Amino acid sequence: MENRLIELTVNGEIREVAVKANDTLLEVLREKLDLIGTKEACSMGECGACTVLIDHKPVLSCLTLAVDATGKEIITIEGVSSPKGLDAVQESFVNKGAVQCGFCTPGIVLTAKDLLSRNPNPSDEQIREAISGNLCRCTGYTKIVEAIQAAAEGGAGK
């Protein structure tokens, strides 16, 4: 159970961090890199709250070993907005009332960003399919789907 020093590329920055073989990427992001925007809700890959983008694809950081994430490009929710302001998807979530308790929000925003980058004009059904692995207990998903639709209409995926 030696600590191993690894390099992770997170939100465009190279971060050197000591990890154990049984540390998940989620644990390292939250506890060693202070990137607490990524949430832990089930730890078993059953809820989507810990979604991050690895090499531009949404994946579950709770089922990713930290040592297995080296050499890849990791984007967390902290890497979506800039000091200048919110990303178009985030803006749309705010304006459409898609956020309630907010615990599922970072994971869904990242999932939606990936969807729009692949498919700038998704149908209602395609949006629902894309986020069907992200549990939300507050919203009934209605306003989340509307927000993603509105972001697409505003050109967020282009």
Rg, C-alpha atoms of the chain: 16
Instruction: Annotate each residue in 55-74 with x if it binds another protein (CB under 8 A) or - if it does not, as one string.
Output: --xxxx--xxx-xx------
Considering only residues 89 through 128, tell me which ones interact with another protein, judged by CB under 8 A.
90, 93-97, 99-106, 109, 111, 125, 127-128
Considering only residues 30 through 49, tell me which ones interact with another protein, judged by CB under 8 A.
30-31, 35-49
Cα–Cα dist 42/47, whole Å: 6
Cα–Cα dist 55/66, whole Å: 15
Q: Write down the least CB distance from residue 90 to another protein, Å.
A: 4
Name residue 65's beta-bridge partners: 24
For position 81 contacting another protein by CB under 8 A, the verdict is yes
For position 27 contacting another protein by CB under 8 A, the verdict is yes
Q: Write down the least CB distance from residue 76 to another protein, Å.
A: 7
Q: Give the residue with the Cβ less far from another protein, 68 or 153.
A: 68
Handedness of CA 147, 88, 36, 84 (dihedral sign): negative
Q: Write down the least CB distance from residue 16 to another protein, Å.
A: 18
127: which 2 tokens? 């949006």
Compute how many residues bind another protein; rule: CB under 8 A.
Answer: 76
Q: Write down the least CB distance from residue 72 to another protein, Å.
A: 10
Handedness of CA 5, 45, 56, 156 (dihedral sign): negative
State how beta strands 4-10 and 73-75 pair.
parallel
